[in-house]
């Protein structure tokens, strides 16, 4: 059997086009002599004719960029053959240094703080100002609004020397005016003195929440100090304000020391190793140090935290949870945190930090990632599921947030511009955790991504381009959550199935090794995979990340010629005109005879609209495309997974013309005769 893939029209298609052109010319000549009403009738008939003819003869000329795939390089590879051989973290280059020192005021859920800034200019531009996010006032609250007040900005050595600065609370931005121009590879130092108040009672990223009576009060200090903005070539200073869609964070790596003075009796979970602890009477002073650069720091405090810890290969893994959820967290949470750490360490590359904390929090989402410390919602216990489901949810969220240590913290990206990148990869990796420990990549998917994605357009009527900023998603009415958390991991899974697990994981390892402690774009992960497989992957990344719609296939030609024993099939992607790029994917194609016996079965590459030709000695009766596994298509019904087409006899009355085409032509000619006849009667009156 021979499989050919051709894009160009056949010889007969050319002749058909020539004949049809002359028929159309005759018709137009007739129309010129027609009355108005008859012209309308003719217009409709011609439209019908053209739409039918266009599909059958592939007149839809595609201006798409076609990345054709028709070789068999990407065979499925043995998924058990994983090379678990990570490389040690390497830190090179210069980073900013920040010393953050805070005194916690429990009754007002605030801190008095100093941020000592030693800012390193890692860009090739001169700075006269340095921008900072002051997010707290943008967050949801119930009892008291969060805020960061700037007290002053002073010189590091001489506190009498002040720096001028501006604060814009509505956009949660401030900037410090430098006393002299900061050149590339140079440093600027100053101290920002501030007071930060947590939003009280809310369930946003930062808050104080719960009650002492119920032993449930905790303080979650996140985004609670002036965090330096990132300057990049695309946007200049990234001064995006706090957003409720997606995670709005984008930070450079920096060395931090975090000093916290808190009332005695508070249990403190914070980013970094506890280097020092000092009893100061009514308060205790702590010094936390992550050792390696991080993108930001956080801490949580509660009098009621129950704490469990374990050393896992040199990393002190700890869980902090409230008494009310001890039944759910006790032992389980610590095991899951360690399982996630071990797997991702071995699969992507080494987690270099000495500590990893998993802390319970109050939120209306599942959890949130920060360097060395992740938060998991306490609300799992109120979602009304049976205990086994709650446990699985807890495990899923822990695996997900822990994974963000690799995809967000160690390898960072602009979460406003390409938030789908770290989120999509984290979701894929969480499902890989399910596959590794439970043998099923869909273990944590209560609705399988594939089922949701295939019928998404039919269900919601919304487009779903992945590669968009959060702002673009809002403007184009794209559901960011769906795109980043469900469609993006599915596309990564499709890539895994296309490349095979070994090459896919090698690609992720290379991506991690190259970009840990740095910032990435979508093109960086593509480049890593390309370097592993040794060829361009534009054909994969461009359509799957940038197209608005999934492919929607139709079999428009399916003809068997018994003389030449050739079956010619044309598969059209009906959504191709709506997208920027042509899709390429492999799908299974079965051919049956009249007694429904399978006479041919194979995987074929469909590159946009594709013509296939098979040599078959048995008379075929029916062709079936089956959307098995991860063939990605737009469907009306998630259970209707096949596309059937009956084979037409190719021994035509006129070679090259199908019966339906001739029927259409006859109808048009009859219509023409009737109209012509009526016109004559009218003119004889």
Q: What residues line the site for Zn ion (CB under 5 A)?
A: 426
How far is Cα 257 from Cα 98, in angstroms, rounded to an integer? 6
Residue with Cβ nearer Zn ion (229 or 427): 427
How far is Cα 429 from Cα 221, in angstroms, rounded to an integer? 27
How far is Cα 519 from Cα 409, in angstroms, rounded to an integer? 9
How far is Cα 194 from Cα 490, in angstroms, rounded to an integer? 44
Residue 200's contacts (CB-CB under 8 Å, 6 or more residues apart) are 109, 141, 142, 143, 144, 146, 207, 208, 209
How far is Cα 27 from Cα 25, in angstroms, rounded to an integer? 5
| CB of residue 485 to Zn ion, shortest distance in Å | 8
| CB of residue 423 to Zn ion, shortest distance in Å | 5
**Strands 96-105 and 254-263, bridge-based pairing:** parallel
User: In DSSP terms, which residues pair with 108 in a beta bridge?
Assistant: none
Provide the token pair at 408: 């967000």
CA 44, chain centre distance (Å): 44
Cα–Cα nearest to 558, from 433, 458, 625, 650: 650
Residue with Cβ nearer Zn ion (216 or 426): 426
Residue with Cβ nearer Zn ion (426 or 610): 426
Q: Are 428 and 406 in contact, with CB atoms under 8 Å apart?
A: no
In angstroms and rounded to an integer, the radius of gyration of the C-alpha atoms of the chain is 32
Q: Which residues of 537-568 are buried (b: 16+ CB within 10 A; e: fewer)?
A: bebbbbbbbebbbbbbbebbbbbbeeeeebbb
Residue with Cβ nearer Zn ion (74 or 406): 406
| CB of residue 580 to Zn ion, shortest distance in Å | 28
How far is Cα 643 from Cα 589, in angstroms, rounded to an integer? 10
Residue with Cβ nearer Zn ion (223 or 426): 426
Residue with Cβ nearer Zn ion (491 or 591): 491
How far is Cα 190 from Cα 96, in angstroms, rounded to an integer? 12
Residue with Cβ nearer Zn ion (484 or 495): 484
Residue 296's contacts (CB-CB under 8 Å, 6 or more residues apart) are 223, 227, 249, 251, 271, 370, 371
Residue with Cβ nearer Zn ion (398 or 604): 398
| CB of residue 67 to Zn ion, shortest distance in Å | 30
Residue with Cβ nearer Zn ion (109 or 426): 426
Residue with Cβ nearer Zn ion (426 or 478): 426
Q: Are 52 and 661 in contact, with CB atoms under 8 Å apart?
A: yes
Residue with Cβ nearer Zn ion (370 or 456): 370
Rounded to 5 degrees, φ, ψ at 585 are: -155, 160
How far is Cα 632 from Cα 640, in angstroms, rounded to an integer? 13
| CB of residue 406 to Zn ion, shortest distance in Å | 12
| CB of residue 428 to Zn ion, shortest distance in Å | 11
237 C-beta neighbours (distance < 10 Å), count = 16
**Strands 367-370 and 373-377, bridge-based pairing:** antiparallel
Residue with Cβ nearer Zn ion (66 or 421): 421
| CB of residue 527 to Zn ion, shortest distance in Å | 23
How far is Cα 273 from Cα 372, in angstroms, rounded to an integer? 9
How far is Cα 466 from Cα 172, in angstroms, rounded to an integer? 28
Q: In 3-state terms, what secondary structure has residue 557? A: strand
Residue with Cβ nearer Zn ion (262 or 425): 425
Provide the token pair at 475: 């403007």
| CB of residue 402 to Zn ion, shortest distance in Å | 10
| CB of residue 101 to Zn ion, shortest distance in Å | 30
Residue with Cβ nearer Zn ion (347 or 426): 426
Q: Are 549 and 634 in contact, with CB atoms under 8 Å apart?
A: yes
| CB of residue 434 to Zn ion, shortest distance in Å | 15
- 3-state class percentages of the chain: helix first, strand second, coil last, to nearest 5: 30, 30, 40
| CB of residue 408 to Zn ion, shortest distance in Å | 7
| CB of residue 472 to Zn ion, shortest distance in Å | 20
Provide the token pair at 157: 């050595």
Cα–Cα nearest to 625, from 635, 64, 44, 617: 635
| CB of residue 427 to Zn ion, shortest distance in Å | 7
């Amino acid at each position: 059997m021979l499989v050919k893939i051709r894009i160009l029209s056949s010889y007969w298609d050319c002749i058909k086009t020539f004949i049809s052109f002359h028929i159309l010319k005759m018709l137009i000549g007739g129309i010129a002599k027609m009355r108005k009403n008859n012209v309308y009738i003719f217009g409709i008939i011609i439209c019908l004719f053209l739409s039918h003819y266009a599909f059958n003869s592939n007149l839809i000329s595609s201006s798409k960029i076609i990345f054709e795939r028709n070789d068999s390089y990407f065979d499925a590879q043995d998924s058990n053959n994983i090379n678990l051989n990570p490389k040690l973290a390497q830190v090179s280059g210069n980073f900013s240094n920040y010393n953050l020192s805070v005194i916690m005021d429990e009754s007002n859920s605030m801190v008095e703080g100093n941020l000592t800034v030693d800012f390193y200019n890692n860009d090739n531009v001169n700075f006269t100002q340095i921008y900072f996010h002051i997010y707290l006032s943008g967050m949801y609250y119930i009892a008291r609004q969060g805020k960061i007040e700037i007290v002053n900005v002073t010189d590091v050595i001489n506190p009498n020397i002040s720096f001028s600065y501006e604060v814009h609370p509505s956009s949660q931005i401030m900037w410090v005016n430098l006393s002299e121009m900061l050149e590339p590879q140079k440093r600027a130092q100053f101290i920002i003195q501030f007071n930060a108040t947590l939003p009280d009672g809310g369930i946003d990223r930062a808050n104080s929440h719960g009650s002492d009576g119920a032993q449930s009060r905790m303080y979650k200090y996140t985004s609670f100090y002036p965090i330096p903005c990132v300057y990049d070539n695309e946007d200049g200073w990234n001064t995006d304000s706090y957003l409720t869609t997606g995670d709005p964070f984008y930070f450079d790596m920096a060395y931090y020391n975090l000093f916290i003075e808190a009332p005695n009796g508070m249990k403190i979970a914070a980013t970094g190793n506890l280097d020092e602890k000092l009893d100061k009477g009514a308060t205790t002073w702590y010094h936390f140090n992550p050792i390696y650069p991080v993108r930001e720091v956080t801490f949580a405090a509660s009098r009621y935290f129950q704490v469990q810890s374990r050393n896992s290969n040199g990393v002190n893994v700890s869980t902090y949870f409230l008494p009310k959820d001890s039944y759910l967290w006790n032992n389980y949470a610590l095991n899951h945190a360690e399982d996630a750490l071990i797997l991702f360490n071995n699969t992507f590359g080494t987690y270099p930090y000495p500590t990893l904390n998993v802390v319970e929090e109050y939120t209306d989402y599942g959890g949130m990632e920060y360097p060395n410390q992740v938060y998991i919602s306490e609300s799992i216990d109120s979602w009304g599921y049976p205990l086994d489901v709650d446990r699985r949810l807890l495990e899923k969220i822990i695996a997900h947030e822990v994974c963000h240590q690799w995809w967000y913290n160690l390898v960072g990206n602009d979460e406003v511009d390409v938030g789908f990148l770290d989120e999509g990869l984290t979701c894929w990796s969480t499902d890989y955790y399910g596959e590794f420990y439970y043998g099923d990549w869909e273990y944590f998917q209560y609705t399988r991504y594939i089922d949701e994605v295939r019928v998404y357009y039919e269900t919601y009527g919304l487009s779903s381009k992945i590669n968009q900023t959060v702002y673009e998603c809002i403007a184009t009415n794209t559901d960011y959550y769906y795109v980043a958390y469900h469609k993006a991991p599915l596309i990564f899974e499709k890539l895994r199935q296309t490349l095979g697990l070994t090459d896919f994981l090698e690609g992720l390892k290379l991506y991690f090794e190259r970009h840990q402690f740095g910032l990435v774009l979508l093109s960086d992960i593509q480049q890593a995979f390309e370097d592993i497989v040794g060829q361009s992957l534009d054909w994969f990344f461009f359509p799957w990340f940038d197209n608005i719609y999934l492919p929607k296939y139709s079999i428009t030609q399916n003809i068997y010629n018994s003389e030449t024993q050739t079956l010619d099939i044309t598969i059209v992607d009906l959504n191709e005109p709506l997208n920027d790029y042509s899709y390429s994917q492999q799908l299974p194609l079965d051919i049956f005879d009249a007694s429904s016996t399978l006479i041919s079965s194979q995987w074929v590459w469909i590159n946009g609209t594709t013509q296939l030709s098979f040599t078959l000695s048995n008379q075929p009766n029916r062709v079936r495309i089956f959307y098995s596994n991860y063939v990605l298509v737009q469907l009306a019904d998630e259970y209707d997974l096949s596309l059937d087409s009956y084979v037409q006899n190719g021994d035509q009355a006129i070679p090259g013309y199908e019966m339906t085409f001739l029927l259409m032509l006859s109808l048009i000619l009859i219509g023409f005769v009737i109209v012509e006849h009526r016109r004559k009667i009218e003119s004889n009156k």
